[in-house]
Amino acid sequence: MLKSATMTVPAKLVELYLDLRASAEEHVRGFTEPSSEMLLPDLHPQEHHVFTLVLDLNETLLYSDWKRDRGWRTFKRPGVEAFLEHLAQFYEIVVYSDQQAMYVDPIVDRLDEKHCIRYRLSRAATRYQDGKHYRDLSKLNRDPSRVLYVSGNALESCLQKENCVPIKPWKCEAEDTALLNLIPFLEYVARHRPADIRPVLASYQGRDIAKEFIERSKEHQKKMQEQKQQGRLWRR
């Protein structure tokens, strides 16, 4: 009986320890992991061809700052309404922020009065890692070959670098046109639907995508014009 008691007590302690450890790990996971394995609902069957445009909020679509005399103020990036309205024709638009939902929702309500943004993801949907909140596109419930992430801090805020579309961070420069400059590239992608956007973005690595796209378009038009001219010469 004494032997049985000595064997039973440690076993119960071990079981209690394992339960407490599992509970603690689950609690920590709630702060470090995205709130769901599928952050977005399934796409409608008729929209399986549609690309998903994920947009960061701060320093991409707007800028927030605090001053002692007036507190917090939020400013819209130049062209943001036109950018959203135009691209909503082609993309499923998602805002993904590392701020709390209580801050994100009222800001997006004012920013997107025409309801161009389909979904909003806030801090609970991020992955907390190395002291930072990262956007984890693998949890979106979307084909990663059809996801683009536009951000002023893209490479520093997203775990999937291959899906990033870096843009100049905005800090209230009045003459900024970065969002509008990006529209031709994003519209081209949506219209032509490459089989996988990731190698396309890799071809622009280290370059300003908006400027490089215009240069490539001009070069393509030049080659097409030359081929057309050569065809005319042969017909003569």
Residue 25: predicted pLDDT? 40
Q: For 151-175, what is each residue's pLDDT tens digit? A: 999 999 999 999 999 999 999 999 9
Answer whether residue 39 is part of any domain. Answer: no
Residue 33: predicted pLDDT? 79
What H or E segment, with its residue span, contains residue 92? strand 91-96
Answer whether residue 138 is part of any domain. Answer: yes
Structure tokens at 91: 């993309």
More confident residue, 86 or 36: 86
- pLDDT of 220 > 60? The answer is yes
- pLDDT of 66 > 90? The answer is no
- Write the burial class of residue 140 (CB in 10 Å: 0-12 exposed, 13-18 middle, 19+ buried): buried
Q: d(Cα 122, Cα 99) in Å, to the nearest integer?
A: 6
Answer whether residue 38 is part of any domain. Answer: no
Average pLDDT, the chain: 87
- pLDDT of 203 > 90? The answer is yes
- pLDDT of 54 > 70? The answer is yes
Burial 18-33 (b: 16+ CB within 10 A, else e): eeeeeeeeeeeeeeeb
Answer whether residue 74 is part of any domain. Answer: yes
Are the CB atoms for 174 and 152 separated by under 8 Å?
no
Residue 89: predicted pLDDT? 97
**Domain span at residue 84?**
47-208
Answer whether residue 56 is part of any domain. Answer: yes
Q: How many independent structural domains does the chain possess? A: 1
| CATH number of the domain within which 80 lies | 3.40.50.1000
Answer whether residue 174 is part of any domain. Answer: yes
Answer whether residue 84 is part of any domain. Answer: yes
Residue 217: predicted pLDDT? 95
Q: d(Cα 195, Cα 211) in Å, to the nearest integer?
A: 23
Answer whether residue 59 is part of any domain. Answer: yes
What H or E segment, with its residue span, contains residue 156? helix 154-157
- pLDDT of 215 > 80? The answer is yes
Residue 70: predicted pLDDT? 77
